[in-house]
Amino acid sequence: MNIACIVLVSLGILFLVLGAVGLIRFPDFYTRLHAAGKCDTLGSMLIVSGLALYDGFSLTSVKIIAIAVFIFLTSPTATHAILRAAFKNNVSHWTKDKQ
C-alpha cells in the first residue's frame, strides 16, 4: 500500500515539474497555459489520490477525495476561461517569424 502511495505522489510531482518546464520552454501564451493546465490538473490529482490512499478509508480521505473532485472541475474550467479571455483580447499566437 505504501509503495502505491509513493508511486502516485512521485508521478504527481513529476507532472508538476514537467508543467513548470513547459511554462519555461514553450514559445507563446497559449501553449504555456496548455502545459500548465494539463500538468497541474494531473499532477494535483495524482498527489491527492496518493494522500487519500495513504490515509485509508476515513473521514479525512473522503475530504481529500472531495478536494480532488474540486480540483478536477475547477482547474480545466479556469484554464479555459483564461485562454478564452486571451483569445478575445487578440493575444497573438506564436509564429516562426517571431523567433
Looking at the domain assignment, is residue 77 inside a domain? yes
Q: In the 8-state DSSP scheme, what is residue 57?
A: S
Whole-model pTM over 0.85:
no
Structural domain for 13, as ranges: 2-93
State the cell numbers at 18.
Answer: 514537467
Over the stretch 62-84, which tens digit does the pLDDT of each residue have?
999 999 999 999 999 999 999 99
Number of domains in the chain: 1
Looking at the domain assignment, is residue 41 inside a domain? yes
pLDDT at 92 over 90: no
Distances (CA, A) of 8 to 4, 14, 60, 94, 98: 6, 10, 18, 35, 39
Cα(89)–Cα(93) distance, rounded to whole angstroms?
A: 12
Over the stretch 34-65, which tens digit does the pLDDT of each residue have?
888 999 999 999 999 999 999 888 999 999 99
Q: Which of 21, 74, 25 is closest to 45 using CA atoms?
A: 74
Looking at the domain assignment, is residue 99 inside a domain? no
Looking at the domain assignment, is residue 98 inside a domain? no
